[in-house]
Amino acid sequence: MKYLLNILLPLFVLTACEGPPTPRLARYSVHGIDVSHYQSRINWAELDSLTVHFAFIKATEGISYADSLFERNWEALGATDIRRGAYHFFRPEAPPGEQARHFVRTVTLETGDLPPVLDIELIGSLPKYELVRRLRVWLDIVENNMGVKPIIYTNLYFYNRHLAGHFTGYPLWVARYHDREPILADGNDWAFWQYGKQGRLPGIRGHVDFNVFNGTLEQLDSLRIPNPKVMELSERLR
């Protein structure tokens, strides 16, 4: 019995600390998730039949790390009707240009994909002005190479303390684990809101982050990479 308790007690404590599953926010109409290798192998075909409109996948981190399941997830997600996007986890003290080029080499955007995402959650030992400068280097290189303005992801506290007022014009994806929407210190609007990290969905083992888009499905689609032929025609008509 003592041996059994030694096994079960840590599992009970872990489960108790995790809290209840994150409920879907019914007041929003456009829902999404974000994943990495932590979700292990995902059954994207099963998710395709649910109300999941978009998914962001971790692609890279720092100057050399690539998520072990990125290629598999990227290809499988591309075969569904779920809008896909890729993100890079930024290491503040690593050369930003090398980080940007690593992401560009790893991710190939196609028509219909969502813009690339810069995930910034750490400042390290940098002063704020230097962090902002380095983020701009990454953003400019990726935009110049991929032809689309990236999305910036961070949590509400980090944005208000370090980024507010510096990145007007970029779509913002803000994490705040609450049922109340995030309010940004500089008055900017958020485009995506990560409101919970303990979502449960068929096709995914374990928890997954839940997100919503601040708009309609048509507005989300306006962010997607357009068809080059459509872009060329649009330019001719101007």
**Sequence ranges of the domains in the chain:** 29-237
Name residues whose C-beta falls within 8 Å of residue 105's C-beta, 6 or more positions apart in sequence: none
Q: What per-residue confidence (pLDDT) applies to 221?
A: 97
Q: For residues 88 and 98, give the distance between their C-alpha atoms in angstroms, rounded to a whole number.
A: 12
CA–centroid distance for 32 within its chain: 10
Residues paired with residue 55 on neighbouring β-strands, in sequence order: 33, 84
- Residue 34: active-site member: yes
Q: Give the residue from 64, 39, 22 showing the smallest Cα distance to 55.
A: 39
- Residue 181: active-site member: no
Q: Give the residue from 95, 101, 119 showing the smallest Cα distance to 36.
A: 119
- The CATH architecture of the domain made up of 29-237 is Alpha-Beta Barrel (3.20)
Q: What per-residue confidence (pLDDT) applies to 113?
A: 98
Ranges of residues in the chain with a pLDDT under 70 are 1-18, 228-238
Q: Say what the pTM is.
A: 0.88
Say which of 18, 81, 121, 189 is annotated catalytic: 121
Token couple for 156: 């509400």
Q: What per-residue confidence (pLDDT) applies to 10?
A: 39
Q: What per-residue confidence (pLDDT) applies to 237?
A: 33
